[in-house]
Amino acid sequence: MTDATAHLARHLADLQTWDSEADDTLVCTAVVDETHDVRTFVFEPPEPRRFAYRPGQFLTFEFALPSGPVNRCYTISSSPLRPHTVAITVKRVPNGPVSNWLHDHCAPGTAVKAIGPMGEFSCLDDPAPKYLFLSGGSGITPLMAMSRAFADLGRPVDVVFVHAARTPGDIVFRAELDLIARRLPGFRVAHLPERAGGEAGWAGPLGRLSAEFLALVAPDFKERSVWCCGPEPFMNAARSLLGALGHDPRLYHQESFDFAKLASAEPEVAAEVLDAEAAEAAAVPTYDVTFTKLGQTVKVRADQFILAAARDQGVRLAASCTEGLCGTCKAKIVSGTVDMSHKGGIRKKEVDQGLFLPCCSKPKSDLVVDR
Amino acid sequence: MLDTTSVSPRALLARRKPGFSLEQAFYTSQEIFDLDLEAIFFRTWIYVGVEPDVPDEGDVMVVDIGRASVLILRDDDGEIRAFHNVCRHRGARIVHDEKSSVGKLVCKYHAWTYDLDGKLLRAEHMGADFDTSCHGLKPVHLKSVEGLLFICLADEAPADIDDLAEKMGPYLKPHAIRDTKVAHQVDLIELGNWKITMENNRECYHCAGNHPELTIPLFEYGFGFSPESMDETKAKEAHRYECMVDDLHGEWEGSGFPSKEIDHLDDRVTGFRTQRLPIDRAGESQTLDTKVASTKLLGELTEAKMGGLSFWTQPNSWHHFMSDHIVTFSVIPLSPDRTLLRTKWLVHKDAVEGVDYDLKRLTEVWIATNDQDGTLVGYQHSGVKSPAYEPGPYSPYTEGLVEKFVNWYCLRLADHLG
């Protein structure tokens, strides 16, 4: 038997359900490119287990970033009817520490910690005869999990799946959604890119969610149970459009990582997340920053800009743009090191001479500044 | 003392006697000094420095000419630009040090922030309707002639700078000014009118009697002499020099180094003259032993004995380009009786002080010569102020270039006065 076959055989043995309280470790088994900046990461436990969850639920992960452990919630994008693995689908966010770490460092074999599943954004919790799924960007994941679950059962459904993206190239799961629509009776897909982008021959509609678009793809939208997930502005726009068109708000559901809701639903999990966040905050060191000419010393956390923290503590420092552009606050470091991200307000040559801009620098040690 | 202010500059110009020094008022009167700035220094191309004065992006040099202050800087694309050093808010001077490095140009007064292309980036508290695009720094014409920087403060700059650049390009190129660094700079304030400083530079009549160091490498005959006033030894020297010029020019021109004289000192607005002059003895450089001061030769030069390429521009510069270093001079008037002579010594940018060159050896000839010239300028100026002064005759043999300078000056002034 090959390794893959042996692995499959182990999964097909009589399996227990994965329990994050007994084992919170997951191991990455595959990484799939969905679009140019979206990837799916597939996980399984170290020992084969079955995952039990409602489509639309999420896991809270703890990723071991070089800077220390970081907690994040990601909705499961895979189908609960394929319970041997779970997948999350993540868009790379510019400067996002976690999404970039996942894209750059999470590979088959990488172990992560996870607790859950949890969350209440699932069509199972509010059954309806007809659905309108509204997804924007990477908010597609819970709706994809629901659609995949329907597809795995193969029985007719009545779902209109709308996915809004920047360009056709940004449509996540495009081919798979089209495939589901072809095979699953009653499942319809309407992709809605804002602009054609690199796909000049795009034949479908372009633009944003509008009354005209809804009339075209789901003229009976008022009868449909709406499930909406996407960036905050997308959900706000969808909700007010539907409200304005007379859609019954009781039939509207939107995903929310509102912590208060999580705390009331799953107090233990919430406590765990809070502990993790508190530990993360406590892990940020605080340094003494001394201004020699002013004769004042302030406490600055490693994640705070020195100028802002000093001003908060009553130290008046000359500054103008406060974003590393003008160089007005330029000062000399007598001792210590900083992490600076300026916008051209200082030259490398000056940095080499020990100068820095307090407005866009965070301390990396205790600091003495000639100011 | 004569009442010089009673005669108009126009009348003084009209009665100027060619071949003679100028009347007293040209050297001493505040009115004519002010006119010199307007007619000459704010209208023609002025030599102010070299590209290696601002070697890196963000480097800024300030040059003050009369009441004007000019920023010369290298922008983020490596381009050199010149702007008036005046904030568009309430007019404060923006940069105060002669040399500095900046990220952006920030006026200290109210932190108006300009990009290195002169665009106003930021002005706080000016309201939503304030249009930053109308308040960029005012540009100043700038022309780099193979790395020598000329600026012109006029709205419309004389176009013949392009012809100068074209003619001088082949002469200057081998010395690769852009690949040099400023090894040393001396600012000397001479106690005399700027035209006296220039006149002194444009002749070597005074060299034998005053410049023991300079006349080791430099032949005094390079600027003219009168054959009948020389004894047999001097005549032989002069003849040897003339043969040497012929031979070396043939040699240098043959190997691709233009050397022959070009003289447009007084027949155009942007006046200039050039000639590659032989160096005496070892023949390599203007040093006390006439050997190279820096062992790292400039540009692609492989031969040390390239003589000294001299380049003069009206109204305010002269330069000596040797195989190993360049000495460059700019003259800036400060008042009727005070003049800034700014001298820079350039060596190959990779030459290391103490290893490839010794700073004392590099600079000693011209430091001594400048001091001697400064004294002579002071002598002349104090004498010109005297009631006894009247214009004296230039030597037709050794002071032809002085006459050309004065003639050019008078033409420019007359042109300005209309």
Domains of chain B as residue ranges with CATH: 46-144 (2.102.10.10), 160-417 (3.90.380.10)
* Contact with chain B for residue A323, Cβ under 8 A: no
pLDDT of residue A169 exceeding 80:
yes
pLDDT digits (tens, 9 = 90+) for A195-228: 888 787 888 888 889 999 999 999 999 999 999 9
Q: What is the pLDDT of residue A122?
A: 93
Q: What is the pLDDT of residue A259?
A: 47
Cβ B178 vs Cβ B51: under 8 Å: yes
Share of chain A above pLDDT 70, in %: 92
pLDDT of residue A261 exceeding 70:
no
Chain B hits for A346, CB-CB cut-off 8 Å, are: 103
Share of chain A above pLDDT 90, in %: 60
* Contact with chain B for residue A347, Cβ under 8 A: yes
pLDDT digits (tens, 9 = 90+) for B261-308: 999 999 999 999 999 999 999 999 999 999 999 999 999 899 999 999
Estimate the crossing angle of helix B194-201 against helix B400-417, to 10 degrees: 140
Q: Residue type for A106, please?
A: C
pLDDT digits (tens, 9 = 90+) for B157-202: 999 999 999 999 999 999 999 999 999 999 999 999 999 999 999 9
> Which of A115-119, A262-266, B413-417 has the weakest average pLDDT?
A262-266
Chain B hits for A322, CB-CB cut-off 8 Å, are: none
Is there a contact between A325 and B101 if contact means CB atoms under 8 Å apart?
no
Q: What is the pLDDT of residue A2?
A: 66
CA distance A321 to chain B (A): 8
Q: What is the pLDDT of residue B335?
A: 97
Among partner residues B101, B111, B124, which is closest to A350 by beta-carbon distance? B101
Estimate the crossing angle of helix B359-384 against helix B194-201, to 10 degrees: 120
Residues forming beta bridges with residue A220, ordered by sequence position: none
Is there a contact between A320 and B111 if contact means CB atoms under 8 Å apart?
yes
Residues forming beta bridges with residue A62, ordered by sequence position: A71, A113
Chain A residues 89-128 with a CB less than 8 Å from chain B: none
Is there a contact between A342 and B103 if contact means CB atoms under 8 Å apart?
yes
Nearest CA in chain B to A343: B103
Instruction: For residue A340, give the DSSP letter.
Output: E
Among partner residues A328, A344, A349, which is closest to B111 by beta-carbon distance? A328
Is there a contact between A320 and B122 if contact means CB atoms under 8 Å apart?
yes
Shortest CA distance to B411 belongs to which of B27, B47, B6, B40?
Answer: B40
Burial class (CB within 10 angstroms; exposed 0-12, middle 13-18, buried 19+) of B386:
exposed
Shortest CA distance to B164 belongs to which of B329, B314, B331, B316?
Answer: B314
Average pLDDT over residues B389-406: 96
- How do beta strands A68-75 and A131-136 pair? unpaired
Is there a contact between A350 and B56 if contact means CB atoms under 8 Å apart?
no
pLDDT digits (tens, 9 = 90+) for A36-62: 999 999 999 999 999 999 999 999 999
Chain A hits for B106, CB-CB cut-off 8 Å, are: 320, 326-328
Is there a contact between B111 and A347 if contact means CB atoms under 8 Å apart?
no
Residues forming beta bridges with residue B249, ordered by sequence position: none
Residue A119: pLDDT band (50, 70, 90) is: confident
- For residues B383 and B231, the model is more confident at B383
Average pLDDT over residues A74-95: 92
Please name the residue that has the structure tokens 């009653």. Answer: A186
Q: What is the pLDDT of residue B260?
A: 94
- For residues B82 and A274, the model is more confident at B82
pLDDT of residue A272 exceeding 90:
no
Cβ B108 vs Cβ A330: under 8 Å: no
Report d(CA B310, CA B300) in Å as an integer. 19
Cβ B59 vs Cβ B116: under 8 Å: no
Q: What is the pLDDT of residue A69?
A: 83
Residue burial A187-218, b: 16+ Cβ < 10 Å; e: rest: bbbbbbbeeeeeeeebeeeeeebeeebbeebb
* Contact with chain B for residue A349, Cβ under 8 A: yes
Helix (H, G, I), strand (E, B) or coil at A100: helix
Nearest CA in chain A to B116: A344
Shortest CA distance to B239 belongs to which of B350, B127, B230, A341?
Answer: B230
Chain A and chain B share a number of CB contacts under 8 A equal to 44
Q: What is the pLDDT of residue A270?
A: 52
Chain B hits for A320, CB-CB cut-off 8 Å, are: 106, 111, 113, 122, 124
Q: What is the pLDDT of residue B219?
A: 86
pLDDT of residue B1 exceeding 60:
no
Structural domains for chain A: 15-118 (2.40.30.10), 130-255 (3.40.50.80), 286-370 (3.10.20.30)
Residue B2: pLDDT band (50, 70, 90) is: very low
Q: What is the pLDDT of residue B235?
A: 84
Helix (H, G, I), strand (E, B) or coil at A299: strand
Average pLDDT over residues B320-339: 98
Average pLDDT over residues A9-38: 91
Q: Is the Cα torsion angle B117, B118, B123, B127 positive or negative in sign?
A: negative
Burial class (CB within 10 angstroms; exposed 0-12, middle 13-18, buried 19+) of B166:
exposed
pLDDT of residue A166 exceeding 50:
yes
Residue A236: pLDDT band (50, 70, 90) is: confident
Average pLDDT over residues B194-223: 91
Average pLDDT over residues A283-307: 89
Residues 6+ apart with CB under 8 A from B14: none
Is there a contact between A320 and B104 if contact means CB atoms under 8 Å apart?
no
Q: What is the pLDDT of residue A271?
A: 56
Average pLDDT over residues A136-160: 95
H-helix or E-strand spanning residue A264: helix A259-265
Average pLDDT over residues A136-162: 95
CA distance B153 to chain A (A): 28
Phi and psi (nearest 5°) for A169? -70, -15
Average pLDDT over residues A107-123: 92
Q: What is the pLDDT of residue A101?
A: 92
Shortest CA distance to A122 belongs to which of A264, A259, A254?
Answer: A254
Give ipTM to 2 decimals: 0.73
> Which of A112-126, A246-260, A263-277 has the weakest average pLDDT?
A263-277
For B314-403, where are the E strands, in sequence order? 317-321, 325-335, 338-348
Residue A92: pLDDT band (50, 70, 90) is: confident
Chain A hits for B73, CB-CB cut-off 8 Å, are: none
Residue B336: pLDDT band (50, 70, 90) is: very high
pLDDT of residue A245 exceeding 80:
yes
Phi and psi (nearest 5°) for A65? -75, 155
Please name the residue that has the structure tokens 């993790």. Answer: A276
- How do beta strands A25-33 and A38-44 pair? antiparallel
Q: What is the pLDDT of residue A260?
A: 44
pLDDT digits (tens, 9 = 90+) for B229-243: 788 888 888 888 888
Share of chain B above pLDDT 90, in %: 88
Report d(CA B16, CA B2) in Å as an integer. 17
Q: Residue type for A173, please?
A: F
